[in-house]
Amino acid sequence: MSRVFWDTDIFIHLLEGHGALFEQVTTLRRAMLVRGDQLFTSALTLGEVLVKPLERGETALAGTYQRVITSSCVMIDFDVRAAKRFASLRCDRTLRAPDAIQLACASVAGVDLFLTQDARLHGKQIGGIQFIVPVERAPF
């Protein structure tokens, strides 16, 4: 069993149901369920995913997204531990604040794998996260 953190972009591919990565993300999630892997994300992911539906006035869709994410994931809060980790990560000025929040949350949760399509994050070495890779390189 692995502890896998999905960045916001991975959820968008899954929930929006289109794009080149939709099939890969769907296949990945099925494989994770079969293996018994735990899916993690942060409260920031939920907030980011809800922006477009709320912007378009699609409150029912926003509610569906919220239910799907909160019922299928271990939600990591941006707490004091994560805030301290965030501060140390932001010393790397190549990291944007939202990325540093995501990485800080994943780091304090001690995840095995952090999946993101953000190429700027691939291969970064962050304590508490074993690997940061794109969906295409997920070992499933």
Tell me, what's the pLDDT at 20?
76
Tell me, what's the pLDDT at 140?
75
Cα(83)–Cα(55) distance, integer angstroms? 28
Tell me, what's the pLDDT at 19?
73
Q: Would you say domain 3-137 falls under CATH 3.40.50.1010?
A: yes
The tens-digit pLDDT sequence of the chain (140 residues) is 999 999 999 999 899 887 778 989 999 999 999 999 999 999 999 999 999 999 999 999 999 999 999 999 999 999 999 999 999 999 999 999 999 999 999 999 999 999 999 999 998 999 999 999 998 888 87
Cα(35)–Cα(96) distance, integer angstroms? 33
The residue ranges of every structural domain in the chain are 3-137
Tell me, what's the pLDDT at 33?
96
**C-alpha torsion angle, residues 125, 129, 135, 140 (rounded to 10):** 120
Tell me, what's the pLDDT at 4?
98
Q: Which residues pair with 3 in a beta bridge?
A: 38
| pTM as predicted | 0.94
**For residue 81, what are the contacts with CB-CB under 8 A and spacing of at least 6?**
108
